[in-house]
Amino acid sequence: MRNAHKSFGGKTVLHGIDLTIPRGSVTVILGPSGSGKSTLLRAINHLEKLDEGYVRIDGELIGVRVDGDRLRELPEKQILRQRLRIGFVFQNFNLFPHLTVTENVVEAPVSAGVLGKADARQRAADLLAKVGLADKADAYPRQLSGGQQQRVAIARALALDPDIVLFDEPTSALDPELVGEVLNTIRTLAGGGRTLIVVTHEIAFAREIADHVVFLSDGVLVEQGPPSRVLDDPQHQRTRDFLSRVL
């Protein structure tokens, strides 16, 4: 991400963010509520359009193309194709309530035309086993706990075998006793070759799984580095204040 600027109605939410994330790494993004974490995450797959700056994945511009000295929006179809390699896990699960667990996981690869129905069901079964929910394949989301729903959402995000998975506060909506099972599921993905970018307030988890920690405050990337530096030896007062509040 280079020089990412974003405003909403005159309020600047991202003030020129530069961020480089190595393939296969785990990056944790921390910051107070309203600091622009979700906007930054959503800009990565062009769910938010930047006012200035750009995102590249493996050198490919996301959502835009160069036209002379300007960037122009790509056709929706091309943006949707670019998004196939990026999974997204939302705070509130966002499962389809009228579809079973299996159908939730099958939906994206089938509607994208990437897998036939039978292959998609097989992949869904494998993924549900992986997140420990093989026995819930035919249940509906409302029959599951929040932790189970979020594990389904993770299986769904993996259904297209994405290179990158974005997590936006995946445990914030959960009762405390359900947080661990979701963190465990995310943990199994770390180091598996995919690039994970996780917005979370779970500092102990960040320390354990992150290769890289980014601290955002008021739309500014205040500091970044390995957890041993950002979490245990922060260089900026704003980072220290934030950590003392969440720890």
Contacts to Mg ion by CB under 5 A: 37-38
When the beta carbons of 31 and 147 are compared against ligand ADP, the nearer one is 31
Least Å from the CB of residue 194 to ligand ADP? 22
* Residue 195: contacted member of Mg ion, ligand ADP, none (CB under 5 to 8 Å, by partner type): none
Binding site for ligand ADP (CB under 6 A): 8, 13, 31, 33-39
When the beta carbons of 47 and 114 are compared against ligand ADP, the nearer one is 47
Q: Taking a C-beta distance cutoff of 8 angstroms, is the pair 14, 36 a contact?
A: yes
Give me the residue whose beta carbon is nearest to Mg ion: 38
Least Å from the CB of residue 33 to ligand ADP? 4
Least Å from the CB of residue 238 to ligand ADP? 14
When the beta carbons of 144 and 197 are compared against Mg ion, the nearer one is 197
* Residue 34: contacted member of ligand ADP, Mg ion, none (CB under 5 to 8 Å, by partner type): ligand ADP
Least Å from the CB of residue 186 to ligand ADP? 18
When the beta carbons of 12 and 82 are compared against ligand ADP, the nearer one is 12
Q: Taking a C-beta distance cutoff of 8 angstroms, is the pair 66, 56 a contact?
A: no
When the beta carbons of 41 and 165 are compared against ligand ADP, the nearer one is 41
Q: Taking a C-beta distance cutoff of 8 angstroms, is the pair 202, 214 a contact?
A: no
When the beta carbons of 136 and 201 are compared against ligand ADP, the nearer one is 201
Least Å from the CB of residue 134 to ligand ADP? 33
Least Å from the CB of residue 5 to ligand ADP? 13
Q: Taking a C-beta distance cutoff of 8 angstroms, is the pair 90, 62 a contact?
A: no
When the beta carbons of 38 and 200 are compared against Mg ion, the nearer one is 38
- What is the four-CA torsion angle of 151, 200, 142, 187, rounded to 10 degrees? 10
Listed in sequence order, the residues at least 6 apart from 215 whose beta carbon sits closer than 8 Å to its beta carbon are 30, 31, 221, 222, 223, 224, 230, 234, 236, 238, 239, 242
Listed in sequence order, the residues at least 6 apart from 111 whose beta carbon sits closer than 8 Å to its beta carbon are none
Listed in sequence order, the residues at least 6 apart from 193 whose beta carbon sits closer than 8 Å to its beta carbon are 24
For helices 146-158 and 176-189, give the axis angle rounded to 10 degrees. Answer: 20
Least Å from the CB of residue 246 to Mg ion? 14
* Residue 13: contacted member of ligand ADP, Mg ion, none (CB under 5 to 8 Å, by partner type): ligand ADP
* Residue 116: contacted member of Mg ion, ligand ADP, none (CB under 5 to 8 Å, by partner type): none
